[in-house]
Structures are given as structure tokens and as C-alpha cells.
Structure 1
Amino acid sequence: MSRLVALTSPVTARVSLIARLAFALRVRQERRHLVQLDDHLLKDLGLSRDEVQAEAGRKLWDTPKR
């Protein structure tokens, strides 16, 4: 049984890494979409242009906790 666990653990870690990367890429895409919105749409969302620019400037790995 321990051999089976040892064989699957790297796969699980790899899947987790891929999932985190996919999540980070989705967040980056959402940030890019926010930048493209007009100011009146941002106001409807309760966001200012400065807040959106700050969010868009965050690093790829700087994602919200799930």
C-alpha cells in the first residue's frame, strides 16, 4: 500500500501545480478584462480606475486565496 501512495504522490503534486497555474492564468485574464472596462462599468462594479490599475499590476503568482 505504501508503494502505491509513493507512486501517486508526485502525480498529485503535479496536478496541484497545474491547477494553481491554471487558476493564476484565469486571474490574470480577469485582471486584463477589468482594465478594458469603461469607467461607468467599473463604477457599477464599485471599483475605481486606480483600484483596477493596482490589481492589474499584481504579479502572476499574487492571486487571491480560494
Structure 2
Amino acid sequence: MTQVALHHPCPPRRRFGLKTLLDAVSLYRQRGTLARLDARALEDIGITREQAEAEASRKIWDAPEFWQR
């Protein structure tokens, strides 16, 4: 068996490609679901209709900061 040791680890790649596309589709669906919640469901999660509509109307590339690591 052969082993290879890297003395200089490769830098991490920028996140792009299929994973980014899947994240964008997921975010789109989540925001659509949020827009369709009724008043009781919004109260359960602790946000107002205005907050839900503001979040749902954000653009796909306007993702939460924790996605942009």
C-alpha cells in the first residue's frame, strides 16, 4: 500500500457548484413556505407578518451570513 503525505495542504475551494445550487433552491422553498404561513403559525415561531414578508421577498443571493463561511 502506498501512502502520500502532503507537506502543504491544499487551500479549501470556494463553495460553488451543485452544493451552492441546492442551497439556493432550499432557501427559495423555505422563503416560499414562510410567506404562506398563517397568523397562528407565525405567532408560534415569534415573528410578525411584516417580518415574514420581508424575509420572503429577499433575493436568492441574499442568504444568511452563516451560509457565507
Instruction: Give the % identical residues.
Output: 33
For 1:31, the aligned partner's letter is R
Verify: 1:35 aligned to 2:56, yes or no: no
Q: Which runs of 5+ in 2 are unaligned?
A: 1-12
Q: Which string of whole-angstrom CA distances, capped at 9 and with x for unpartnered residues, describes residues 6-40 of structure 1?
A: xxxxxx76x83221121011011001001111111
Aligned to 1:53: 53
TM-score scaled to structure 2, two decimals?
A: 0.68
Question: Helix, strand or coil: the match of 2:31?
Answer: helix
Aligned positions, number: 54
Structure with the larger helix share: 1
Question: Helix, strand or coil: the match of 2:16?
Answer: helix
TM-score scaled to structure 1, two decimals?
A: 0.70
